[in-house]
A and B are shown apart, each in its own frame.
Chain A
């Protein structure tokens, strides 16, 4: 690798900026609050936001291809309630999880096929997908359903978590998040498929002229998005030990925000999967800060995320215009 690759370029600027924001927020929290710097807060930051991170990696891939996926939150909720319901009916947890993942991938593939084959706007198709998944979640079970199974109660939350001290353990969800981010980063950076996605996102007509298989790549990217949304739903059941059809409303906005804050251009073609992890951690840190502060209400989180989104979108716009 040449050294020139390591020098920060204009393209890396948003990622470096968000990394700076992350460090600033963390340092600020450590100065302002006792115990903020504790290992427990750090571990919870990963564990509690794992489902968002997993789903956000999928959303990032879709955005990289120049599309958008608004069905994320609904698919996460559907997966959770489906798994809870299947386990409640006596099915094996692994079977339920496998089925849910398959359905998520199939759902994404269906949306991708509609988008590609009929040249429909992704925004509208995934909007329809969001309504469909949300409604189906209520068909599966109309209210919150807790999961009561040794696989969840003991295996996932105890056996698979790594103890750090006597009272502190790294939950399985944190490892799931890191694994998905690493796999996603490798797929985007080093695989032919990842290159194809980026090429389509930069310019679909140029990609076609270069011989990139547009249809297969695009349908697969929505399949991946659906699969990772479902996986996010699975991780959410590990974390919540329940499924609720009314939960995770607006999660797609958080996922998109995480991708944008992490340096992914919303028009597609440029972005970094590790950046999305940074974005997710920033969203999580803001939430933690608001909780630590105590007197601030939780809606400040939304306003802060909106403000950050604004700053990063304008930053993107300015760097993009300078390149033109």
Chain B
């Protein structure tokens, strides 16, 4: 009951504040999904305190969703520049593998090694996109193909377990009764928001995504900014990879981060950032990630297995795509159907 008293007024207030902002739609979808669970999924909203920490399905959603939220932060900036990075899942696997491999040396070395190799992976993508001027989806494809092989190489094909308390804490510990991963996500969100909204960097990114040629002619350092964005996405993927490995106390090169890159892209798109680049919604991406995680947990609670759950997920992707489609929007708005040439110009990624 206390949960109800807290959560619904908070959601209502959020919706009201955002009633004229792009955040409205993902928030509304999340609110409806939560309402559905409040009415039809028994136990979804039960929270209890054991040993000074909070337990319950809602906490699980936040904890499990942390990986996609971290990925979505980096992915938002990449997509805002008009690119995309489907290699983050493989980067997660590499980071987790390096951390597990170095776990025995010392904790700082393990964490630093994992994050360092993720930064390298991001820099590799950034180099291909900015210096070699390769289309982002093609450039990142290379790491997507080879990344899991590299991770296997690091773990020597084994699943490496680790027991170090500090490394296990990363994905399973709690801070002030809430999962530590939540603090991690909030910290990264605040950091990213300050970086892009309190400096000109955010404007640069939006300008490049909107029209790169024009941005370059106005003197924006388009290539360094693009490079940085991929490095940042790599760093976020590294953090997510460390959390994922810590979750299961081992590095499983085949499965860590598998398909999470798709969830991250989906979260960004659901959150209101257009795949064509330009204006981006950092908070929207987090809400999108929460929406995807809640959807997954809802299906799981209704005994829809993880394998089959991809079907409703696909429906959501296609529905969101359609809602973003300029053609459908024009039709819905009752406007004249724009000519395909105009759409092509608007939508050429």
Binding site for B on A (CB under 8 A): 68, 114, 117-121, 123-125, 127-132, 134-136, 138-139, 142, 204-205, 208, 214, 245-246, 249-250, 253, 256-257, 260, 266-267, 297, 299-303, 305-307, 309-310, 313-314, 317, 321
CA distance A221 to B67 in the complex (A): 36
* One of A119, A128, A134, A317 near B326 (C-beta < 8 A): A119
Contacts of A134 in B (CB 8 A): 307, 310
CA distance A68 to B140 in the complex (A): 14
Q: Is the CB of B314 within 8 A of A256?
A: no
Chain A, Cβ-Cβ closest to B258: A249
Q: Top 5 closest A-B pairs, CB basis?
A: A306-B146, A302-B149, A135-B311, A299-B152, A131-B314
Can you add 19 more A-B contacts, CB < 8 Å, to A135-B314, A306-B146? A119-B347, A121-B275, A123-B84, A124-B275, A125-B321, A127-B262, A127-B265, A131-B313, A131-B317, A138-B305, A138-B310, A214-B340, A246-B307, A253-B144, A253-B145, A267-B135, A297-B157, A313-B138, A314-B134
CA distance A208 to B344 in the complex (A): 12
CA distance A318 to B265 in the complex (A): 30
Chain B, Cβ-Cβ closest to A215: B340
28 A-B contact pairs sorted by A residue (CB < 8 Å): A119-B344, A120-B321, A124-B265, A124-B317, A127-B317, A128-B314, A131-B262, A131-B313, A132-B315, A134-B310, A135-B314, A138-B305, A139-B308, A208-B341, A214-B340, A250-B145, A266-B138, A267-B135, A299-B157, A300-B153, A302-B145, A302-B146, A305-B145, A306-B147, A309-B141, A309-B142, A313-B138, A313-B139
CB within 8 Å for A117 and B327 given contacts A134-B310, A299-B149: yes
CA distance A309 to B128 in the complex (A): 13
Q: Is the CB of B349 within 8 A of A121?
A: yes
CB within 8 Å for A306 and B143 given contacts A119-B340, A119-B343: yes
Q: Is the CB of A309 within 8 A of B327?
A: no
Chain A, Cβ-Cβ closest to B331: A118
Chain B, Cβ-Cβ closest to A120: B321
Interface assignment of B150: CB less than 8 Å from any CB of chain A: yes
Interface string of B306-349 (1 = CB under 8 A from A): 01111111110110011011111000000000001101100101
Q: Chain A contact residues: over half helix, strand or loop, or mixed?
A: helix
Contacts of A309 in B (CB 8 A): 141-142, 145-146
CA distance A37 to B152 in the complex (A): 30
CA distance A249 to B254 in the complex (A): 11
Q: Is the CB of B347 within 8 A of A301?
A: no
Contacts of A121 in B (CB 8 A): 275, 321, 347, 349
CA distance A307 to B149 in the complex (A): 11
Contacts of B322 in A (CB 8 A): 114, 118, 120
Q: Chain B contact residues: over half helix, strand or loop, or mixed?
A: helix
Chain B, Cβ-Cβ closest to A128: B317
CA distance A313 to B132 in the complex (A): 10
Chain B, Cβ-Cβ closest to A118: B325
CB within 8 Å for A303 and B153 given contacts A118-B325, A124-B321, A135-B308: yes
Contacts of B145 in A (CB 8 A): 250, 253, 257, 302, 305-306, 309
Interface assignment of B148: CB less than 8 Å from any CB of chain A: yes
Query: Closest CB-CB distance, A107 to chain B, in whole Å?
Result: 12
Query: Closest CB-CB distance, B129 to chain A, in whole Å?
Result: 11
CA distance A300 to B137 in the complex (A): 23
Q: Is the CB of A317 within 8 A of B157?
A: no
Interface assignment of B302: CB less than 8 Å from any CB of chain A: no
Contacts of A135 in B (CB 8 A): 307-314
CA distance A23 to B131 in the complex (A): 32
CB within 8 Å for A136 and B311 given contacts A119-B347, A214-B340, A299-B152: yes
